[in-house]
Every structure is written in structure tokens, then in C-alpha cells.
Amino acid sequence: MTRPELRHDVRITDTTLRDGSHAMDHQFSEAQVRDTVRALDRAGVEVIEVSHGDGIGGSSFNYGFSRTDEMTLIAAAREEATTAKIAVLLVPGIGTADDLRRAHDAGAEMVRVATHCTEADVSPQHFGVAHGLGMETVGFLMMAHRTSPEDLAAQARIMVDAGCQAPYVTDSAGALLMHEARARFEAVVAEVGDEAWVGYHGHQNIAMGVANSVIAQEVGVRYIDGSLCALGAGAGNSPTEVLAAVFDRLGVDTGLDVLAMLDAAQEVVQPYLPRWPKMDRNAIVQGWAGVYSSFLLHAERAAERYKVPAHDILRRCGELGYVGGQEDMIIDVALTLAGERAS
């Protein structure tokens, strides 16, 4: 598949209703999804991602049960969007090809297939299914700080050869410093830039998300993610309303109405926030130690249950090199730390 034509300098994808599901403990209601999609659509957002935080099929004991079936939420989003595309996340091993078919039937037009940054070879089957359904395809190379720019580019090549139209540098831990992000952007753009767009998904754990988004645009990255009110895992994502304002100041065309984005954040999303993602000790440890952002709530629950500090749990997870999908190991870490404190 060829890469889509761009209508603007940068194509913004809003992930409030997917990455934000982590911060919401996967408790989005249909009404919240409908209100948020209407507001984003009015503001000119081109792609709105809707699914469980861990992707379609993620509602489970390991990752947390959704309040509302995600297929219901996808269908509701599709009904409300007049111009925006509805996207879903799929993590191979969590979501299946059948889940993808169900999401497409519910109204999803794009799939973002997410793998660990060194495991792109598990994605081709899902890209193949998406192509058969006529869906647009994106590839997430998660925890991008955990491999070199050259190896990340090689993994992006695997995805593009499988039909991915936009591989992403995905900073799942919010760990990339500006020079580290630039090196990865440049490597991936150099590898696939004539065949596919390149994207960036950032987190604010050490406050680099917006800054790295600006660097990304400067070096040729054209898909950039954000979430209203930064609603997302860890300290949250790059705030979409801030991205809109910053790119407008820079003269970069995103197609977004800045005032409408601010209204969406302040009047639609802020009232339903159970917690406002912030750079507190736990979130900063995630960025500093390179820990998967969605571990935050799992670590805080384990900390309360086993009476050990959440930041110690997260730091140990970083030392052990745990990645997305290994949330169940957080309990083992907490038990180990509790034993060490008792001895």
C-alpha cells in the first residue's frame, strides 16, 4: 500500500480515548467517548484512536477490565465523527485478527499495530489482515529508547515491507532526551521516508513529549500523537491542545483550530478526569529508569497491597528490563521488595 496523501504539514492523531484509557482505569463511558469525539472532530483532528489502553482485546484480568465493551465505544465514535478517521491499537498477543475484523465492522478505519521495538517481525500477519479489510496501517515500535537508532530503522523497514504505511518512534516510557529522539527520527526517516510516513508518540514523564514533537517535525516526521489534557499512561502524552498551539506559533499547518482544541480539553475532558496525569515522583522514575508508562497504576496498586513504595517497584522494573505486556511481573517485584524490607 502507498502512503496516504497529507492534507497538512503534520497529521495529528489524538489518543485521549485509547492511551487515556490507562489513566481512566479503562472506565470510559459511551457518553464520554461520544462527547470527546464530537469535540475533537469539530476542532479538525484527522485521526481519533479508540480502544482499551492495551489495544483491542485488552480488557482482561492482566490489564484491567473495560467498563464498556470497546466495540460499542468504537461504533459510537464512528457515529459521531464527521470527518475524522477512527483508529484502534492492536498489540499482537493481546489482540487477534478476529478482534481486528470486529473492530473494522464496528467502524475502525485504521489499525496501529504495536510491537516491542525489536520485535517487528510479529506484525506482518496483522498488517496483512488490515490490508484485506481496506484499513489504513500504522506501526508502533514501542519502548524506542531500548534499541539503537540504526536497529530501530531496521525494525521500521520490516514493518514497511509488510505493508505498514507509517512506522512510529514510540517513546512508551517517555525516556528519550532530545538528542536521542532526533537520532531515531533521522534514522527511521532516512530508511523509509520515500515509501512511508514516519510518526512519533511521546509521553511526558520527564517533560520531553512536546519538545520531541517539535524536533520530529523539523526532521521530517509527519504523524504526531497527543492526548487532551495529556490524558494517558504515566505522566500522560504530549497534550494535543499544547501541540496545536505550539505548531501554530511555529507556522506549521496541522489543520487544528487551537481555540476549539482548548475548549475540548477544558470543557469536555477535564470534567471527567479521575486524576490529571502529572510529573510526580512515580512518573518521573518511569522516564528516568525507562519503564513502560502503563505500569504506573499497576505499580501503585501493588504498592498499596504489599506496603512498598511504588517508585521502588517501578525502578526495579526498569532494572529488570520489563516491557509492555509484562504487567503481571509487577506483583513479583512487589513481593520481592516486601521480602527484602522484612529481612
- Residues with catalytic annotation? 22
Q: How far apart are CA 337 and CA 330, in angstroms?
A: 11
Count H helices and E strands in the chain, helices first: 14, 8
Task: Please give the C-alpha separations between residue 138 and each of 14, 120, 289, in angstroms, as whole numbers.
Answer: 14, 12, 27
Q: Is 8 annotated as a binding residue?
A: no
Q: Is 18 annotated as a binding residue?
A: yes
Task: Please give the C-alpha separations between residue 219 and each of 118, 182, 187, 202, in angstroms, as whole numbers.
Answer: 23, 8, 10, 16
Q: Is 151 annotated as a binding residue?
A: no
Q: How far apart are CA 176 and CA 12, in angstroms?
A: 20
Q: In the chain, which ranges are continuous DSSP H helix? A: 20-23, 30-43, 70-80, 97-106, 124-133, 149-161, 178-192, 209-218, 240-250, 258-263, 281-289, 295-306, 310-320, 329-342
Q: Is 21 annotated as a binding residue?
A: no
Q: Please, which residues have CB within 8 angstroms of residue 48's CB and are 6 or more apart in sequence?
A: 13, 14, 16, 17, 37, 40, 41, 77, 81, 84, 85, 86, 87
Q: In a 10 Å sphere around its CB, with 0-12 CB exposed, 13-18 middle and 19+ buried, how is residue 252 labelled?
A: middle
Q: Is 200 annotated as a binding residue?
A: no
Q: Is 116 annotated as a binding residue?
A: no
Q: How far apart are CA 154 and CA 160, in angstroms?
A: 10
DSSP annotation of 144 reads: G
Annotated binding site for substrate: 18-19, 172, 201, 292
Annotated binding site for Mn(2+): 19, 201, 203
Annotated binding site: 18-19, 172, 201, 203, 292
